[in-house]
Structure 1
Amino acid sequence: MKKLLLATALAGLAGAAMAQDVVRLGTEGAYPPYNFINDAGEVAGFEREFGDELCKRAGLTCEWVTNAWDSIIPNLQSGNYDVIIAGMSITDEREEVIDFSQGYLPPTQSAYLAAAADVDLKSGPVAAQTGTIQAGYVAEQGMTLVEYATPEETIAAVKNGEAVAVFADKDYLVPMAAESGGALVLLAEEVALGGGVGLGFRDSDDDLRGKFDAAIKSMKCDGTLDAMIVKEEYFGAAALVWGDAGKEGC
């Protein structure tokens, strides 16, 4: 009987250890092609495929968690998940509160989407998602900034006349323009912001960050990451890739 109880207790401890070994990946689920929720109600997009491959290479069991963008860093810090993988640009301001992996996407272009190509960006509010580098840029340029909690709301603000344009990642805006049937157009002006896109970690999770860094590097070294970036359903053949720079130190 004692042996049975001991075996049961050990099984329980093993189960707890396995549960603790599950790494929770936190994403927004609302920013295609980076991440979105598909018709089956599952996280999909570039970061889903990328994140699953990282976990495979790192030998980690991972699960996906969705969280609103405006609280994505606080909920990492409070332990609701272990990694942010949500198209988050690496910035000095964010590095004051969280740690980043090496970049998995090079610095990308931000752009404006408006109802007309000749819009005056100083003539009315410019929409941006709360807590993004794009929101900070709009404010710094002296334009009138209006912030929204979700990407969808920024697009809606232009459609209903609440904003003269939306400023966001070009990769997000391109399909929005294409799907609008000419109602929305990309402006010619593009701006490079941030230091690339990386995974976010709590300051105390150096070991976990190291495992993901090694997995990212291995994908750069064997070309898998570049091949994933340029998939047509993600960023396409014209997307910036790592190339030889990503293979330094391989």
Structure 2
Amino acid sequence: MKNLYLTTLALAVAGSMTFADSHSVVRLGTEGAYPPYNFLNDDGEVDGFEREVGDEVCARAELTCEWVTNEWDSIIPNLVSGNYDVIIAGMSITDERDEVIDFSQGYTQPDPSAYLAMSADVDLAGGVVAAQTGTIQAAFIASTGATLLEFATPDETVAAVKAGEADAVLADKSFLQPIADADGEVMLLEQEELIGGGVGLGVRESDGELLATLDAAITSMKEDGTLNALIEKWGVGEQF
């Protein structure tokens, strides 16, 4: 079994070197507004869990990568149109998205979605719940009896709750927990939702070679514990 794994890894590395030789730069597209997954630091550079994951994936795959930021609501169309080559933006793997692009294996487990509100007695079933446009949380709310209020950015969803426009916001718990810890006006509710199939890298359906290269790098990060160490560092869910 060990020899089989080493042979498979060697073939994957060989494939990644071939891809690297034929592609000078691989552009990584992210939102830069969804901590701890991705955000812009004080120097205006992409930072966070996915910055470290992306840099490590590129190093292991021997790819030269550069970071590109893009608004969330157009992040898939602009991948397809060629503005960048990989989406690494806290994007959950879903069947609907998989019809348009291809996903790598997950580099996080499914993260519980949590509700942030001003009080514990809000009406989640019949109230107004905010979510970022195009997310698994927005789709989930739309399937319930609640009224969905969508915003372009995650920060706007939180602002809507604080302004009284929405009763609660539904988002990844790892995004909302630091906000609840730092802001005494809001709180996380006990109710959580487990939706989505984990977070993966997105690529164009025509880029099968690139996808195999990225998958091999993620596999090696799982095997040696590097990915689990980053998951623990940034608090983005359960380890593999």
Same fold (TM over 0.5): yes
Residues 1-250 of structure 1: pairs in structure 2 closer than 5 A: 20-180=23-183, 182-231=184-233, 234-235=234-235, 239-242=237-240
Max Rg structure:
1
| Structure with more contact order per residue of length (Cα contacts < 8 Å, sep ≥ 6) | 2
Which ranges of structure 1 fall in alignment gaps of 5 or more residues? 1-16, 243-250
Q: Give the TM-score normalised by the residue count of structure 1.
A: 0.86
Q: Give the TM-score normalised by the residue count of structure 2.
A: 0.90
Structure-2 residue corresponding to 1:4: none
Give yes or no for contact 1:148–1:154 (8 Å, CA) kept in 2: yes
Which ranges of structure 2 fall in alignment gaps of 5 or more residues? 1-19
SS in 1 for 2:146: coil
CA–CA distance in 1 between the matches of 2:116 and 2:162?
Answer: 10
User: Superposition RMSD on alpha carbons, in Å?
Assistant: 1.4
CA–CA distance in 1 between the matches of 2:125 and 2:228?
Answer: 38
* 1:142 positional shift: 1.5
* 1:141 positional shift: 1.1
* 1:176 positional shift: 0.8
SS in 1 for 2:170: strand
SS in 1 for 2:107: coil
CA–CA distance in 1 between the matches of 2:157 and 2:230?
Answer: 28
Structure-2 residue corresponding to 1:13: none
* 1:20 positional shift: 4.5
Q: How many residues align?
A: 221
CA–CA distance in 2 between the matches of 1:200 and 1:37?
Answer: 21
Post-superposition Cα deviations, 1:37-86, rounded to whole Å, max 9, x if no partner, equal 00000000000011000000000000000000000000000000000000
Give yes or no for contact 2:126–2:145 (8 Å, CA) kept in 1: no
Structure-1 residue corresponding to 2:17: none
Post-superposition Cα deviations, 1:21-48, rounded to whole Å, max 9, x if no partner, equal 2000000000000000000000000000
Give yes or no for contact 1:84–1:199 (8 Å, CA) kept in 2: yes
- Structure 1 stretches of 4+ with a deviation exceeding 2 A read 17-20
